[in-house]
Amino acid sequence: MKYYELRGKLARIRDDFDGKLIVVGDLHGDLESFERVRDIFLQIPDSILIFLGDYADRGSFGIEVIEGVKGLLIDFPDRTIALKGNHEDYKMGMPNFAPCDLPREVEIKRGISWRDFFPRFEREFLSRLQLAVWVPSYALLVHGGISSKIRDLSDLESPSEGVEEDVLWSDPYEGTGEHPNPRGAGILFGPDVTKSVAGRVKVKYILRSHEPRKALTGPFAEHGGMVITLSSTRIYGGVPFVLSFDVGAQLSGENLRLMTRYLTDAGDL
């Protein structure tokens, strides 16, 4: 049984799904963390695994992480979702971000030029990535952030270039309104923007990654607890973790009850 529906670039969790969501932040070539995530997922049959993007670069095992995520998408298509991060933002085979270590890694480890590798990479991996996940009445999951360009869910199903850029690149901050992002793409968005967009798409929370340094010791909450950042990589230091929650409990009206699973221990979610 497929636990979610695809509507364009938006994955919508089914209304009748009452199992567990496991949410994974940036991995950035951290193969050890990925393998830990995979082990956790395989132990929980009635669960959905959601990756928030940024699979390669910075770490040493980007190609292995990408192959591992692709394998889960193939083997468990009904309960694995992978989002596009800003490190999957390519234009005509060229990265729209830096640093980009993957081409060199591919050439060294696979003995193939990036030019020859990219068409297959695009077809077999990049084309499988979604832009956002919507948990009805509860949470929106994205890589980077949101902006006032998101008027309703249709803007995530069929996003304009501007919406997609904002989702991949934007960051929350504690001022008001929207301002240019020092990254050179996306925006900085304040609590007022979060409240407005969350109301329009009918959710209580925004779960995102994109800033692992904010979450070196665990989930980092902003905007009155409405925006939560996570990190699943060791690349920036700190302790990698995943978040999980039981969808049925949340949809019954309970407040946010996220469980944090650190990827260095042996406890259960």
Give a yes or no: residue 112 inside a domain.
yes
What mean pLDDT comes out for the span 195-202?
A: 98
Compute the Cα dihedral for 63, 65, 68, 70 and give only its sign: negative
- Res 251 pLDDT > 70: no
Give a yes or no: residue 21 inside a domain.
yes
Give a yes or no: residue 267 inside a domain.
no
Which pLDDT score, from 0 to 100, does residue 190 have? 98
Q: Which residues have C-beta within 8 Å of that of residue 101, sequence separation ≥ 6?
A: 29, 56, 57, 58, 62
Q: What CATH number does residue 118 fall under?
A: 3.60.21.10
- Res 184 pLDDT > 50: yes
Q: Give tens-digit pLDDT for 97-117.
A: 999 999 999 999 999 999 999
CB contact at 8 A, 20 and 43: no
**Sheet with strand 187-189: strands edge to edge:** 171-172, 187-189, 178-180
Give a yes or no: residue 107 inside a domain.
yes
In the chain, where do the E strands start and end? 4-7, 10-13, 20-24, 47-51, 80-82, 90-91, 94-95, 132-135, 139-141, 171-172, 178-180, 187-189, 205-208, 220-222, 227-229, 241-246, 259-262
Which pLDDT score, from 0 to 100, does residue 268 have? 47
Residue 207's SS3 state is strand
Give a yes or no: residue 268 inside a domain.
no
State how many domains the chain has.
1
Place of tokens 């932040």: 25
Q: Can you read off the two tokens belonging to residue 185? A: 């793409």
Give the chain's mean pLDDT.
Answer: 94
List the domain range (segments joined by +) for residue 162.
7-11+17-262
- Res 221 pLDDT > 80: yes
Top-confidence residue, 73 or 251 = 73
Give a yes or no: residue 2 inside a domain.
no
The fraction of the chain above a pLDDT of 70, given in percent, is 94
Give a yes or no: residue 1 inside a domain.
no
Give a yes or no: residue 69 inside a domain.
yes
Confidence of residue 267 (pLDDT cuts 50, 70, 90): very low
Place of tokens 């496991």: 22
